[in-house]
Amino acid sequence: MTPMNFLSGLSRRDFMKLSAAGVGGAAMSGWLSVLAARAASSGAKHKACILLWMDGGPSHKDTFDLKPGTTDAGEFKPIQTAAPGVEISENFPQFARLTNDAAIIRGMSTSEGAHGRARYYMHTGYKEGSGGLVYPSIGSTVSQELGKENFPLPNFVAVNGRSYGSGYLGPKHQPLFVQDPTKGVENLKPLVKDGEFNDRVGLLDEMEQAFYHDYKVGAGTAHATTYRRAVQMMKSKEAKAFDLSDEPPKVKEAYGANKFGEGCLLARRLVETGVPFVEVTLGGWDTHKDNFNRVKKLSSELDPAMSALVADLKQRGMLNDTLIVWMGEFGRTPKITDGGGTPGRNHYPRAWSTLMVGGGVKGGQVIGKTDAEGAEVKDRPVSALDFLASVCKVVGIDYTKVNNTPIGRPVRIVEKAGAPIKELFA
C-alpha cells in the first residue's frame, strides 16, 4: 500500500481539516514520511503481546502445578500434555494439546500479598508509592516502545477490566478500555455529516490551541491528545477490528460465548490489525470460598478461549511474533482453608505459576519447581522483575532503557535487580 493509496479515500477538505486538527499529533508532512516508510516495509512483522490477566490470583495447585497425593492436593486430577513429562489440571484438556508452544513458569516468587499492591507490582515492576511516582504499566511501556506514531488505533487496549495506565509516560500511552467486546468501541460514527464534523473538529482544535497558549497546563495537553486520538480512530478503516460480527460462527464458538472468549477473539483481531498490546481480563479468581467449584467454572471459560487464541494465531502465522502471557497478581495458599463452610485458598505470593506462549520463546518446558506441597520454590525462583524483564526481551524492548519523567528524573523500564529468564531463549 502506497501513501497515495492510503490518502486517496480522503477528500481535499478532509485532508486539510485533518491537518488543521493535528489528528495523530503530527503534520501531514510527517504522515507522508511515516506512510512511505511503512509502504516500503510492507509485510514486515512486528512483535505484539496479549496479556491474559487472571484477576484475583489463581491457585497454582489447581491449574498448572498440581500436587496429587499430597496434603491439600485438591479435587482435580493431573493430565498429560503434549510436552513429555509435563502435566496440568484436567480442566485444561484443549490447552494440554498446545503446550509445546508454552513455557510454564512454576517458580514465581514475589513479595506483595495484597490485591491492589500486587496488581500494581506485576503490571509495572515497581512498588506502589515508591519514589513518589506513578509508574507505567507494561501495556503503556509496549505502547511507547513498539507503538506506531500515526497508527489510528490506540497502541494499548484493555478488555473487560480497568488495568493500569501510562503513569509518567503521559496520556498518549493510556489504554483504551473496552468493557463489552461484542459492542467494541461505541459511538465511533459521527452524528453529523462529514463536512460538519470536520468543521467542528477544526473549531475545537482552534479553541484548544488558544487555551493552551494562555494556560500551559498538563490537563489541556491530555484533553487535546484524547480527542485527537478519538477523531483519528473515527476516521480509520482499522476501527473495523472492533466489530466481532465479521467473524464466522465457528470461530466465535471456538473461543466461547462469554466475555472472556469474546475478549480473546477481539485481542487476536486487534494484534492482527497492528495493535502491539492487548490485555484481556478474566476476574473471579479470589477464591477464599468455594475454591474448587469456582476454579472449575473459570477454567471452563479459560481453556477454550486461550486454546483457540493460540491455535488461531498459529494458523495465521502470527504466534511466533505474538507473546501470550497468562498470569494473575499471585497464587493461593497450598493449604485448603475454611471459607465459611466451603473449601477455600487464601493469597499466596511466595510460590505460584505463570505462562508464556508463543513470541518465539522455547515451549514445551517447565521453568522452576516448587516443593511437594507447592509451598516453596525449590528450583529456579523467578521474581516479578525477572518476569517483566523477560516479557520486554521477548517482544524486543530494551528492559534496561532509562526514561525521563516530566520532571527529568531517570527511571529504568525494569529495575536493575531484574534479569530475563534465560531458559526462555535457549
pLDDT digits (tens, 9 = 90+) for 252-297: 999 999 999 999 999 999 999 999 999 999 999 999 999 999 999 9
- 56 in the same domain as 26: no
Number of domains comprising the chain:
2
- Of 348, 360, 422, 421, the closest CA to residue 385 belongs to 421
Q: Is 42 part of a structural domain of the chain?
A: no
- 117 in the same domain as 232: no
- What average pLDDT does range 113-132 have in this prediction? 97
Q: Tell me, what's the pLDDT at 150?
A: 86
- What average pLDDT does range 72-92 have in this prediction? 98
Q: If you average pLDDT over every residue of the chain, what do you get?
A: 86
pLDDT at residue 29 is higher than 50: no
Where in 26-75 does DSSP place strands (E)? 48-55
- What average pLDDT does range 361-370 have in this prediction? 98
- Residue ranges of alpha helices (H) inside 280-365 are 291-315
pLDDT at residue 116 is higher than 50: yes
- 175 in the same domain as 301: yes
- What average pLDDT does range 358-383 have in this prediction? 98
- What average pLDDT does range 80-106 have in this prediction? 98
Residues 6+ apart with CB under 8 A from 92: 63, 79, 299, 302, 303, 307
Instruction: Label residue 44 by pLDDT band (50, 70, 90).
Output: very low
Q: Is 371 part of a structural domain of the chain?
A: yes
> Which of 242, 270, 288 is at the close of a domain?
242
Write out the residue range of the structural domain in which residue 289 sits: 47-184+243-425
More confident residue, 152 or 119: 119
Cα distance between residue 257 and residue 245, in whole Å: 13
* pTM, two decimal places: 0.82
Q: What is the dihedral of CA 57, 62, 68, 71, to 10 degrees?
A: 50
- Of 259, 325, 58, 49, the closest CA to residue 175 belongs to 49
- 21 in the same domain as 161: no
pLDDT at residue 34 is higher than 80: no
pLDDT at residue 108 is higher than 90: yes
Task: For the beta carbon of residue 301, count every other beta carbon within 10 angstroms.
Answer: 19
Type of residue found at 376:
E
